[in-house]
């Protein structure tokens, strides 16, 4: 296979044809049907065919992000697609881009390959009982050990998805309480098996425990696991949050994918339950779901230009509203059948089961959390108003007050 043409600066000038040829050569040498999933993903990473816009040596080729679709199409045609993220969504959708943006070379070399190969699971240690929507008010403390240089972390996190399965956590902690709340934060990578990390399940309305509360008691974090400079934690966290909102609201779906697909299937199977009013409502929600799907696709295309911006907040707000309304319409349509939900046993969710494959009773209950997780709808509307529409900011009386002086 010919190497890609060189650009004016001597770097490879990748094209769809060269990416397609490289991928086909890789597949000829690495048959996904003859290799284990982890082995195949590691080979992809080593060949620069994980995230092709990442730099060479970090799972990429330094190619334009728009060419990822060419790679994905070739992999899918070979039966090697890996679209189901499940418990790996936080690692792939949030940890990887934040490591790319803020990690040093040693951190990238240590974490990106096992992350992409699904050898390690990640969680997000952000929200706290007293700092959910106002994340910058968090009180988990990280204090440097003057002898070892490690950081000693104490505090409590809440609503932590996959913490019970995670190998690593993305942690924001307060390192300087004497400055305003946004300025005294630092970002860390935490070993979830370290002494002092205590994960406890939180039972939801569905009976499941997707989330956890995590208690951190004298947890030692090496300074080599700090991401960004001391005091830059809010900037690093913003990179994580912007990617999180895209990961939640801009998932790749076919037409009639997700929850609207489950409802339309039920509609076609039960003609005796249809009414003109329900038909009109279904058509309206179908159009909204399709508009949301296309908007999410456009947002993914805009990511070619760089890191996601506040536009991801709009998609996440719409995603929550549309799916909550669809789940409500499903109950209106199915009546008593839709209300049936038998599995109230306290348990962990099945990681292999997708959201839309569940019963409508489950979907109605679970969809209520969509407007909370990943940033509440109220907060995200403020983000849209201020950063997208350019409206005046809310009055913030605590903006310049040291965190230690804030009422709690």
Q: What phi and psi values does residue 189 have, to the nearest 5 degrees?
A: -110, 120
Strand, helix or coil for residue 171: strand
Residue 275 has a CB neighbour count (10 Å cut-off) of: 10
DSSP code for 42? H
Q: What phi and psi values does residue 129 have, to the nearest 5 degrees?
A: -55, -30
Rounded CA-CA distance 252/299 in Å is 11
Residues 6+ apart with CB under 8 A from 276: none
DSSP code for 399? T
Alpha helices in 81-151 (DSSP H): 89-90, 96-102, 105-116
Structure tokens at 101: 């943006």
Residues identified as active-site: 244
Residue 346 has a CB neighbour count (10 Å cut-off) of: 10
Residue 391 has a CB neighbour count (10 Å cut-off) of: 11
Residue among 60, 63, 58 nearest 13 (CA)? 63
Residue among 347, 363, 356, 369 nearest 208 (CA)? 347
């Amino acid at each position: 296979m010919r190497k890609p043409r060189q650009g004016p600066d001597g770097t490879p000038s990748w094209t769809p044809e060269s990416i397609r040829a490289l991928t086909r050569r890789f597949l000829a040498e690495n048959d996904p049907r003859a290799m284990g999933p982890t082995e195949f993903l590691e080979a992809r990473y080593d060949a620069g065919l994980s995230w092709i816009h990442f730099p060479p040596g970090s799972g990429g080729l330094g190619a334009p992000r728009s060419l990822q679709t060419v790679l994905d199409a070739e992999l899918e045609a070979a039966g090697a697609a890996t679209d189901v993220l499940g418990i790996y969504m936080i690692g792939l959708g949030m940890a990887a881009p934040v490591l790319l943006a803020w990690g040093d070379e040693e951190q990238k070399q240590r974490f990106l390959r096992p992350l992409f190969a699904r050898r390690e699971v990640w969680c997000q240690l952000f929200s706290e009982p007293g700092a959910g929507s106002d994340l910058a008010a968090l009180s988990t403390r990280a204090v440097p050990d003057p002898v070892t240089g490690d950081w000693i972390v104490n505090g409590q996190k809440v609503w932590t998805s996959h913490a019970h399965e995670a190998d690593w956590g993305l942690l924001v902690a307060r390192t300087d309480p004497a400055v305003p709340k946004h300025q005294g934060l630092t970002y860390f990578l935490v070993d979830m098996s370290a002494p002092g990390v205590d994960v406890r399940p939180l039972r939801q309305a569905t009976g499941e425990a997707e989330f956890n509360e995590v208690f951190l008691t004298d947890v030692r974090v090496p300074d080599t696991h700090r991401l960004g400079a001391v005091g830059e934690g809010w900037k690093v966290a913003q990179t994580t949050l912007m990617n999180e909102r895209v990961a939640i609201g801009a998932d790749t779906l076919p037409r009639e994918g997700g929850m609207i697909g489950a409802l339309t299937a039920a509609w076609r199977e039960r003609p005796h339950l249809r009414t003109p009013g329900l038909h009109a409502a279904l058509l309206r929600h179908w159009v909204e779901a399709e508009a949301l799907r296309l908007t999410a696709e456009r947002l993914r295309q805009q990511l070619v230009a760089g890191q996601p911006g506040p536009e991801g907040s709009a998609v996440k707000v719409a995603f929550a509203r549309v799916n909550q309304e669809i789940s409500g319409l499903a109950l209106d349509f199915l009546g008593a059948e839709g209300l049936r939900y038998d599995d109230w046993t306290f348990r962990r969710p099945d990681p292999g089961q997708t959201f839309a494959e569940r019963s409508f009773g489950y979907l109605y209950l679970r969809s209520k959390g969509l407007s909370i997780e990943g940033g509440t709808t109220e907060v995200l509307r403020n983000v849209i108003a201020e950063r997208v529409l350019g409206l005046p900011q809310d009055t913030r009386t605590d903006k310049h007050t040291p965190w230690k002086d804030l009422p709690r």
